[in-house]
Amino acid sequence: MFLKQQFLLASAQYAIATTAFEVAGDGYTWPNDKIDLLEHMLYEHSGFHVNSPASFVAPCGRVPFGPGRSGSAEWLRTAYHDMANANVAAGTGGVDASIGFELDRDENPGKGFNETLFNLRDFMTARTSMADLIAMGAVFAVGGCSGGKVEIPFRGGRIDAINAGPTGVPKPEESIDSHIASFNRQGFTQDEMIGLVACGHTLGGVHGVDFPQIVAVVNDTSVDDNTQTFDSTIDGEGAFDNKVASDFVANITQNPLAFGHNVTTRSDARIFNSDGGVLIKKMAASNEFFLQTCQSLLERMINTVPKSVHLGNQIDIIPVKPSSLYATIGSSPGNMMFSGFIRLISRDNSLDADPGRKVRIHIHPRSGGRCGATVDCPVVDVPEFSWSRSLYHDGGYPYFKKYKFSKEIPVDQGVSAFDVEVIDAAKDGTVSSKLYTNGGGGFPFDDTIVTQPTQTCNGQQGNGNFNLTVALHDDRKLDTVQALLQYPDSLTALVPAIATNKVTLKRVGVVSGTKYSLFSVKAKVPSGTFTLTYDLVASNKTHTEFRRFNDVTEIPSCPKKL
């Protein structure tokens, strides 16, 4: 935490506070392009302005894909099969999305991999690799099916492979020595193999359509995959539990890899008994032990990556997070409209929380400087607008409240940053206030080059145009403006690369009385449901300004005939 500081009350707007301000933070400085979108996907699953693959598999069982199939089980299976050709000693393989090039192998049968990758593909961006999304999918599968009791810590930074890796996924007919060797190559001991298999097989089952040698095919495979589940808790928040272990120990299991009719493919029985049944009995005796074991092993599984890949720190919830920041130039003569959203953590897991909370934005002028006696910072009260939340939690995942603001500011004054003031009233009537300054410099906003949302539209799901208009401040004497449009290419590949389409914007006029010029381009983008982002680059012969990783969340759709 940053040191607590006294904050001088510089204006009448601060008078409501009855205690000194706290400058709060957690060592994180916004923005951080490497984690901001991943953090959003990890913790915001439902509600306003949400773009997360979690909505496919949480709540548990939400996407069954067909009779007997579980989306959560298939997402977890995809993560393991992607990791399974790792050679930890050599530093190769791991969770790298190579599975997308390995689906013609007999070790990877079934439609589940294709459908998992197809669903995740829409969330790929220049900051969210398919490998990170596969790992995140395992987090969602386990979190949703355990009701949040198993929250696997997530770190980003995985890099997508560009071709297939070696074979290496263990198959049910292999010997116990072969299985031990495979898991050892992946970095897991014999005991850890037992635990990881039990954790993986508490969800889903074996599909007869893919493994007729294990499960008899009795129904029409065009409408039924003829699935035999590993245990009886197959969906809902209790699906991820120790039932697969307790049933095995009690000798009442329906697990076809333990007591199936084909002795050769009873791989779970061989694995669970390989230490004399010691670990599986401990997992059967305590659901808490089972869940703790799974959290540890599955975290290691998704963090198994090639030695050239360096994962970042664990991604935690960002306590105060701006989004969709815009400055609309010429909103009225001589002014700009500064707008956006502030996301805060609700004080409890309820939509009705924080009824007395007040939020204020203190806007730093373009000239910079701290707000106070010598620097006048416009202040805007921000009303609560909407909310978002996780689709599973066990007392730890909060609701988020979203506050929408807009403030007209003289163009000559401009914007360089802003602070967020949060004022809360306790039940005893006392009022406390925290000023969030993002590490001391405020939450930055560069008004040199700004997208004009009212003159921009996104036609990726319509006419295939992205009509982009930006305003460029003339004082910087920048004369070339380009946009780097980023999207998955091709949209037919299960693991597409992120393409960058560089387009040059043309100067189309000025905004009278503002010292801003307008630049515009009509660019073609593929039609589809992918996530489009773009960088802005303005330059002259000696200097370049960037505004990186802009999204299109608040950009309206283009009319189809435009």
Query: b/e for 181-203, b at 16 or more Cβ within 10 A?
Result: ebbebbbbeeebbbbbbbbbbbb
Cα distance between residue 56 and residue 388, in whole Å: 16
Q: What is the pLDDT of residue 353?
A: 65
How far, CA to CA in Å, does 196 sit from each of 135, 186, 483?
A: 15, 12, 46
Q: pLDDT tier at 182 (50, 70, 90 boundaries)?
A: very high
Backbone angles phi, psi at 480, to 5 degrees: -120, 130
Q: What is the pLDDT of residues 209-241, one digit of tens each?
A: 999 999 999 988 888 889 999 999 988 888 999
Q: Is the pLDDT of residue 63 over 90?
A: no
CA distance 150 to 401: 25
Cis peptide bond prior to 212, omega within 30° of 0: no
- Mean pLDDT computed over every residue of the chain: 89
Q: Is 439 helix (H, G, I), strand (E, B) or coil?
A: coil
Mean pLDDT of 293-315: 97
Q: Is 191 helix (H, G, I), strand (E, B) or coil?
A: helix
CA–CA separation, 303 vs 135, rounded Å? 8
What per-residue confidence (pLDDT) applies to 490? 80
Q: Which of 211, 222, 229, 183 is nearest to 73 (CA)?
A: 229
What domains lie within the chain, and their CATH numbers?
35-303 (1.10.420.10), 320-444 (2.60.40), 449-551 (2.60.40.10)
pLDDT band of residue 28 (cuts 50, 70, 90) is confident
Q: What is the mean pLDDT of residues 420-430?
A: 85
For position 6, what pLDDT does the model report?
A: 28
Contacts of 489 (CB under 8 A, 6+ apart): 496, 497, 498, 499, 526
**Band of pLDDT at residue 23, cut at 50, 70 and 90:** very low
Q: Quote the pLDDT of residue 271.
A: 98
Task: State residue 396's pLDDT score.
Answer: 60
SS (H, E, C) 95-128: CCCHHHHCCCCCCCCCCHHHHHHHHHHCCCECCE
pLDDT confidence bin for 511, thresholds 50/70/90? very high
- The more confidently predicted of residues 503 and 525 is 503
Q: Is pLDDT of 1 > 80?
A: no
The dihedral of CA 236, 240, 241, 242: what is its sign?
positive
Average pLDDT estimate for 354-376: 82
> Residue 292: which residues within 8 A CB-CB, separation 6 or more?
none
Neighbours of 102 (CB within 10 A): 22
Give the pLDDT of residue 162. 93
Whether the pLDDT of residue 25 is over 50: the answer is: no
One-letter amino acid at 235 equals D
- Single-letter code of the amino acid located at 495: V
Q: pLDDT at residue 435 above 70?
A: yes
Is the predicted pLDDT of residue 14 greater than 60, yes or no? Answer: no
Distance CA 481, CA 534 (A): 13
Local confidence band at 430 (pLDDT 50, 70, 90 cut-offs): confident
SS (H, E, C) 40-64: HHHHCCEECCCCCCHHHHCCCCCCC
Q: What is the dihedral of CA 247, 139, 461, 483, to 10 degrees?
A: -160
User: Taking 80 as the threshold, does the pLDDT of residue 256 lie above it?
Assistant: yes
Helix axes 71-83, 287-302, angle to 10 degrees: 50
- CA 1/CA 439 separation, integer angstroms: 10
Give the integer Cα–Cα distance in Å for 556 and 70.
35
* pLDDT class of 331 with cuts at 50, 70, 90: very high
18: confidence class by pLDDT, cuts 50, 70, 90: very low
What are the structure tokens assigned to 522, written together?
A: 């009509």
Vertex 246 angle, CA 288 and 154, to 5°? 40
Q: Is the pLDDT of residue 45 over 50?
A: yes
Given a contact cutoff of 8 angstroms between Cβ atoms, the answer to whether 53 and 128 are in contact is no
* Contact predicate 549/532, CB 8 Å: no
Indicate whether 302 pLDDT > 70: yes
Instruction: Note the pLDDT of residue 236.
Output: 85
Residue 206 backbone dihedrals phi, psi, to 5 degrees: -110, 130
The runs of H, that is alpha helices, within 332-442 are none
- Give the whole-angstrom CA distance, residue 497 versus residue 485: 13
Q: How confident is the model at residue 397 (pLDDT cuts 50, 70, 90)?
A: low
| pLDDT, average across residues 360-384 | 85
- Please answer whether residues 143 and 59 qualify as being in contact, where contact means their C-beta atoms are separated by less than 8 angstroms: no
φ, ψ (nearest 5 deg) of residue 132:
-65, -40
Q: Is the pLDDT of residue 128 over 90?
A: yes
User: What is the predicted pLDDT for the residue at 154?
Assistant: 97
Residue 124 CA to residue 122 CA, distance in Å, equals: 6
**pLDDT band at residue 350 under the 50/70/90 scheme:** low
The helix (H) or strand (E) run that includes residue 185 is: helix 176-186
In which band, very low, low, confident or very high, does the pLDDT at 478 lie, cut at 50, 70 and 90? Answer: very high
Q: Is the pLDDT of residue 11 over 50?
A: no
525-544 mean pLDDT? 91
Query: Average pLDDT of 62-72?
Result: 78
Tell me the average pLDDT across 288-313: 98
What is residue 509's DSSP assignment? E
Is the pLDDT at 53 greater than 50? The verdict is yes
Peptide bond into 267 cis (omega under 30): no
